[in-house]
């Protein structure tokens, strides 16, 4: 059975291409194309890349028995991606679909709309793939960082918490860390994650209860003070918020002096945002400048640009 000839006939029919048109493109006779399709001969291997390019398929596709016909190579790649999600297939499918929608406008509005829909579907499926990959690597980072959990202030877990709320799975974080706090009440890191989860969930009163409990046991923890400030800001208890944030900043400076580590500047961001929210442009400008200086001192040139722009907006 001449699988290649059968697939060429199928692809021609799908695209409305005549034997003569394909022959002209390949610089051969239409009789040669006819012989392929009737099983008399097979294409020269040197022609396979040109045939695949003409029909916007891969060379491998030409050898697939019972090949499904697709309108263009992008649609075929999307189908492949659905079967086996892969970043390389995604990139190739995206490139082909963008090429298709950027092509000269045809009179067939349906086909134009269908290409746009197909591209949207591709992004939708890739978003799902990326979501699963993100969770996979968050979990790997958390597992790898367990020995450093106290040192890192559970920052790996907080990153995962933030992401889970972004994908509407935040409720499980609140439940998980509430349970963990009951099981391991002597862990400051559990309280840090619990406060963050409740705050993201909008459960500010519960977050305040956890923050107060954590402050009672760990009053000099940089992240506890920072999160306590964030919770107070949500409850519009601004004096308390600034008090907690300023303490977090001072504790962080002390830690940096003693250990030489970069530490966390989260509280500096919170201070700047809150002043901006309150309409205090002068203090907001100073706070954003302090963030920029902190980043600049540590060589974070790219990250520094954004707070500098924010400071400029406050002038």
Contact, 93 vs 81, CB < 8 A? Answer: yes
Same domain? 233 vs 281: no
Same domain? 10 vs 112: yes
Q: Is residue 13 part of a domain?
A: yes
Give 40-73 pLDDT, tens digit per residue.
899 999 999 999 888 877 788 888 887 776 777 7
Cα(94)–Cα(73) distance, integer angstroms: 11
Number of domains in the chain: 3
Q: Which of 75, 100, 128 is the last residue of a domain?
A: 128
Identify which of 177, 174, 224 has the alpha carbon closest to the alpha carbon of residue 198.
Answer: 174
Same domain? 252 vs 285: no
Pairwise pLDDT comparison (214 vs 79), residue with the higher score: 214
Contact, 232 vs 212, CB < 8 A? Answer: no
Q: Is residue 279 part of a domain?
A: yes
pLDDT at 14: 72
Q: Is residue 193 part of a domain?
A: yes
Contact, 84 vs 126, CB < 8 A? Answer: no
Cα(146)–Cα(194) distance, integer angstroms: 17
Q: Which of 81, 103, 128 is the last residue of a domain?
A: 128
Cα(27)–Cα(43) distance, integer angstroms: 13
Confidence check: pLDDT of 1 > 60: no
Q: Is residue 138 part of a domain?
A: no
> Which of helix, strand or coil describes residue 65?
coil
The range of the structural domain enclosing residue 249 comes to: 145-262
Same domain? 123 vs 8: yes
Confidence check: pLDDT of 193 > 80: yes
List CB contacts of 185: < 8 A, sequence separation 6 or more.
Answer: none
Same domain? 255 vs 273: no
Q: How many C-alpha atoms does 183 have within 13 Å on its Cβ side?
A: 9
Same domain? 186 vs 76: no
Q: What is the pTM of this model?
A: 0.74
Give 201-241 pLDDT, tens digit per residue.
999 999 999 999 999 999 999 999 999 999 999 999 999 99
């Amino acid at each position: 059975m001449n699988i290649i000839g059968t697939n060429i006939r199928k692809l021609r029919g799908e695209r409305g291409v005549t034997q003569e048109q394909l022959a002209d493109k390949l610089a051969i006779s239409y009789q040669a194309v006819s012989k392929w399709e009737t099983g008399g001969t097979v294409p020269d291997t040197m022609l396979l890349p040109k045939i695949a390019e003409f029909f916007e398929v891969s060379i491998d596709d030409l050898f697939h028995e019972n090949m499904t016909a697709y309108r263009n190579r992008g649609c075929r790649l999307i189908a492949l991606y659905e079967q086996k999600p892969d970043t390389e297939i995604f990139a190739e499918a995206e490139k082909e679909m963008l090429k298709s929608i950027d092509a000269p406008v045809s009179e067939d509005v349906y086909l134009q709309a269908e290409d746009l829909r197909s591209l949207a579907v591709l992004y939708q499926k890739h978003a799902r793939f990326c979501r699963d990959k993100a969770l996979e690597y968050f979990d790997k980072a958390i597992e790898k960082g367990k020995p450093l959990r106290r040192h890192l202030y559970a920052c790996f877990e907080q990153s995962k918490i933030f992401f889970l709320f972004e994908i509407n799975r935040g409720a499980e974080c609140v439940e998980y860390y509430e349970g963990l706090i009951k099981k391991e009440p002597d862990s400051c890191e559990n309280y840090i994650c619990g406060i963050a989860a409740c705050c993201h969930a909008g459960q500010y009163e519960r977050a305040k209860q956890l923050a107060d409990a954590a402050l009672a046991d760990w009053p000099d923890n940089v992240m506890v003070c920072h999160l306590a400030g964030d919770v107070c800001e949500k409850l519009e208890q601004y004096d308390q918020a600034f008090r907690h944030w300023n303490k977090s900043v001072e504790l962080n400076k002390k830690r940096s002096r003693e250990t030489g580590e970069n530490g966390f500047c989260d509280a500096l961001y919170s201070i700047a945002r809150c002043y901006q929210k309150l309409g205090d442009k002068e203090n907001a400008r100073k706070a954003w400048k302090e963030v920029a200086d902190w980043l600049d001192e540590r060589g974070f040139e790219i990250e520094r640009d954004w707070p500098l722009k924010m400071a400029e907006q406050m002038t």
